[in-house]
């Protein structure tokens, strides 16, 4: 049977650029589009952006570096990495391996929920290209009705099963297509599949959002949107809620959950600079969220539309009448918008599925095609069943599971591992010495923040 070292030698990222594109792809998700602009609108432009920037610095200089370093040091995903960290610290390895199951489960569950949303994105991308979305015009009843048909809700399991199978389910085909796309990319491996696809999708995503952001400048009525974005209310900076939601959005956006970043780190070569990669990932992820903000908030300002509470409704309902009301280039704007979201979603979902795939390969020694196939079959079946409860499913995962994965990874690296080994893991590949405050910062700032994310998420019903 192949061991983890053999698996790592067979495949991995070929370059730091490829790794960064894949890592950024894991961070850049649909929440950058449907949640970040809403929070900026709700809490007041710069009043929200300042705390967000502070937390982005904190997390990239601690949590992201820690997870990349832990994965590369252990040459394994979370289960193997946590086990090796426990062993390194003089504790039972098996306990670490069991604790590593938390982020594996969290990543798989989040991927399943994402698969449902990806079905919506594939459907809307198709309708954008064919002109069906533009033909809906600005009638909110028509636009809202179309999305309701795509994403129905059920009150019981029998009702959900009837919606999914007896009625054919409007989203079933698109979920299958999304799962198949993920399967094909991941079956090709790390370098030829994940890395290669992200090196194509991520640059295109940014180009599309940059074009959309530039177009918005020339649309009449967007000035109020820009004015709002650059508004600063010093008194609101004293509101704890602003800081809590800025932290929650940043925490989940930068994908520190003890799973995907650890796995991607395990595929890294020894020459990759961890700190540099983490900083670039944080900058690119934040820039994508800012670009989405510069598209959506000015667009909504043209009609005075309310961003509401964010969520999928913003992306699939609220923005459509605004885009469709712009005029002659409406169809092109809609196409660019949904293709960009499609690429963001695909790059995220392959990262989420990679964690359980890695677990099956390294812990159960399955061949990659078997692991990829098994995970995608399970993902497809469950995704079809949970469609009417997608929102509740995602809430449970993000509130109760993901923060625990981040807490566990942080404790393993900053508290359990020997300090000299943790520092050496983060230092590897860089000529510059690691900052002296890295370990105490991780111990006493990042790990407590992860615990706070778990507690506040439960107390407030979700903060990210």
Per-residue pLDDT of the chain (464 residues; tens, 9 = 90+): 334 443 444 478 888 888 888 888 888 877 788 889 888 988 888 999 999 999 999 999 999 999 999 999 999 999 999 999 999 999 999 999 999 999 999 999 999 999 999 999 999 999 999 999 999 988 888 888 888 887 776 655 566 566 655 544 668 899 999 999 999 999 999 989 999 999 999 999 999 999 999 998 988 888 888 998 998 988 989 999 999 999 999 988 888 888 889 999 999 889 889 999 999 999 999 999 999 999 988 888 877 766 655 566 777 888 888 888 887 788 999 999 999 999 999 999 999 999 999 999 998 999 999 999 999 999 999 999 888 888 889 889 999 999 999 999 999 999 999 999 999 999 998 888 889 999 999 999 999 999 999 999 898 888 86
First to last CA, the chain: 41
Q: What is the pLDDT of residue 5?
A: 41
Cα–Cα distance, 364 to 210 (Å, whole number): 44
**Residue that is written with structure tokens 């079946």 in the block:** 381
Q: Is 305 helix (H, G, I), strand (E, B) or coil?
A: coil
Q: What is the pLDDT of residue 303?
A: 75
Cα–Cα distance, 5 to 15 (Å, whole number): 19
Q: What is the pLDDT of residue 2?
A: 39
Cα–Cα distance, 252 to 249 (Å, whole number): 6
Cα–Cα distance, 37 to 53 (Å, whole number): 14
**Nearest Cα to Cα of residue 35 among 304, 231, 318, 230:** 318
**Residue that is written with structure tokens 């982020």 in the block:** 103
Two structure tokens written together for 353:
């599925």
Q: What is the pLDDT of residue 416?
A: 96
Q: What are phi and psi of 426, to 5 degrees?
A: -75, -30
């Amino acid at each position: 049977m192949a061991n983890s070292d053999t698996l790592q030698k067979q495949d991995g990222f070929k370059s730091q650029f490829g790794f960064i594109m894949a890592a950024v792809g894991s961070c850049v998700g649909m929440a950058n589009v449907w949640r970040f602009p809403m929070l900026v609108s709700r809490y007041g432009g710069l009043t929200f952006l300042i705390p967000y920037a502070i937390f982005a610095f904190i997390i990239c200089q601690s949590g992201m570096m820690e997870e990349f370093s832990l994965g590369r040091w252990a040459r394994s995903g979370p289960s193997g990495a946590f086990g090796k960290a426990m062993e390194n610290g003089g504790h039972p390895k098996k306990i670490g391996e069991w604790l590593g199951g938390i982020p594996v489960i969290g990543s798989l569950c989040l991927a399943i929920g994402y698969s449902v949303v990806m079905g919506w994105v594939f459907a809307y991308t198709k309708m954008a290209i064919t002109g069906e979305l533009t033909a809906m015009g600005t009638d909110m009843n028509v636009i809202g009705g179309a999305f309701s048909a795509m994403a129905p809700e059920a009150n019981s399991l029998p009702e959900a099963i009837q919606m999914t199978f007896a009625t054919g389910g409007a989203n079933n085909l698109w979920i299958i297509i999304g799962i198949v796309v993920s399967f094909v990319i991941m079956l090709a491996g790390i370098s030829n599949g994940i890395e290669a696809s992200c090196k194509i999708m991520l640059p295109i995503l940014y180009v599309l959002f940059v074009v959309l952001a530039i177009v918005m400048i020339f649309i009449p009525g967007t000035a109020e949107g820009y004015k709002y974005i650059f508004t600063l209310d010093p008194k609101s900076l004293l509101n704890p809620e602003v800081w809590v939601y800025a932290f929650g959005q940043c925490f989940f956006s930068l994908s520190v959950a003890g799973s995907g970043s650890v796995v991607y780190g395990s595929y890294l070569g020894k020459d990759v600079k961890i700190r540099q990669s983490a900083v670039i990932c944080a900058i690119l992820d934040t820039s994508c969220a800012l670009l989405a903000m510069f598209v959506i908030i000015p667009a909504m300002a043209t009609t005075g539309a309310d961003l509401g509470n964010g969520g999928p409704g913003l992306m699939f309902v609220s923005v459509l009448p605004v885009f469709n009301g712009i005029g002659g280039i409406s169809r092109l704007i809609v196409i660019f918008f949904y293709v960009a979201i499609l690429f963001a979603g695909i790059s995220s979902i392959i990262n989420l599925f990679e964690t359980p795939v890695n677990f099956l390969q390294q812990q159960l020694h399955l061949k990659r095609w078997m692991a990829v196939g098994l995970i995608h079959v399970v993902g497809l079946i469950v995704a079809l069943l949970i469609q009417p409860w997608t929102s509740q499913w995602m809430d449970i995962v993000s509130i109760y599971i993901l923060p625990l994965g981040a807490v566990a990874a942080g404790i393993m690296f900053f508290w359990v591992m020997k300090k000299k080994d943790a520092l050496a893991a983060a230092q590897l590949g860089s000529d510059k010495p690691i900052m002296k405050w890295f370990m105490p910062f991780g111990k006493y700032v990042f790990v407590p923040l992860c615990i706070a994310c778990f507690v506040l998420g439960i107390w407030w019903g979700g903060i990210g």
